[in-house]
Structure 1
């Protein structure tokens, strides 16, 4: 007996013989009574919001395989972009920045022997002057 439906009475409906045979075979395949099979089918259609006349398209397994293939394709494209575009561009940018770095110029030591305390000033030949504390004036 079907659990929860023991006290309900049976009703009859008229179904064509070929459909009844197919339905009974399906009921045996899923190991349910005919009433429970029909109830499961109705609940499935209601829960998923589909009608029996709609085509669900390819099976889930084929969809999963298709999605995996496309994801692998996207990964391959991204790796190719990384190898052919990103890494060479980064290497070129690094080489440009290495060449563009200003060369360190030697500091010239200058002494003022004007009578007062000896002050030592550091200066670069072309750019920034430094004070006695060693900080650049801006």
Structure 2
């Protein structure tokens, strides 16, 4: 018996002898006293919100297999969403916000007017003579 329940009194429960033998075997198997074994069972049912009359369905291994299968399905859906929606959207946003060097365009500057040498022309009616220079025969 556990120390915390040492000072408590025993109560009698009326159960069938076959059930009592089965319960005693179960109590020895989990290495607890019969009182603590019964208390653990009651707390388990209360904590998990199940009734002993309800069926737990398939064994735990089958449930584990089903849960893993569903998790793998969720992972596949998330990967598909990532490939089809998230990555393209991120790529588009990055291309919009990506800093690229602006194209260099020549600056528009004021043109400076250079004065050309004015040709000297004689007024109309006056004769003028100009020699043509020969590029081969320089004077």
Q: 1:36 to 1:65 in 2, by over 3 A?
A: same
Alignment RMSD: 3.9
- Cα distance in 1, alignment partners of residues 26 and 8 from structure 2: 23
Q: How many residues matched?
A: 111
- Cα distance in 1, alignment partners of residues 47 and 82 from structure 2: 45
Greater strand proportion: 1
Residue matched to 1:18: 18
Higher Cα Rg: structure 1 or 2? 2
Q: 1:60 to 1:13 in 2, by over 3 A?
A: same
Matched, 1:70 2:62: no
- Cα distance in 1, alignment partners of residues 81 and 47 from structure 2: 44
Q: 1:76 to 1:16 in 2, by over 3 A?
A: same
TM, length-normalised to structure 1: 0.52
Please list every run of 5 or more consecutive structure 2 residues that lacks an aligned counterpart in the other structure.
Answer: 88-110, 116-139
- Cα distance in 2, alignment partners of residues 82 and 47 from structure 1: 39
Please give the per-residue CA displacement for 1:77-96, whole angstroms capped at 9, x wherever unaligned.
66678889x99xxxxxxxxx
Please list every run of 5 or more consecutive structure 1 residues that lacks an aligned counterpart in the other structure.
Answer: 88-110, 116-138
TM, length-normalised to structure 2: 0.51
1:50 deviation in Å? 1.9
Please give the per-residue CA displacement for 1:52-90, whole angstroms capped at 9, x wherever unaligned.
111122344322221212332454566678889x99xxx
Aligned runs of 1:1-138 on 2, under 5 Å?
Answer: 1-76=1-76
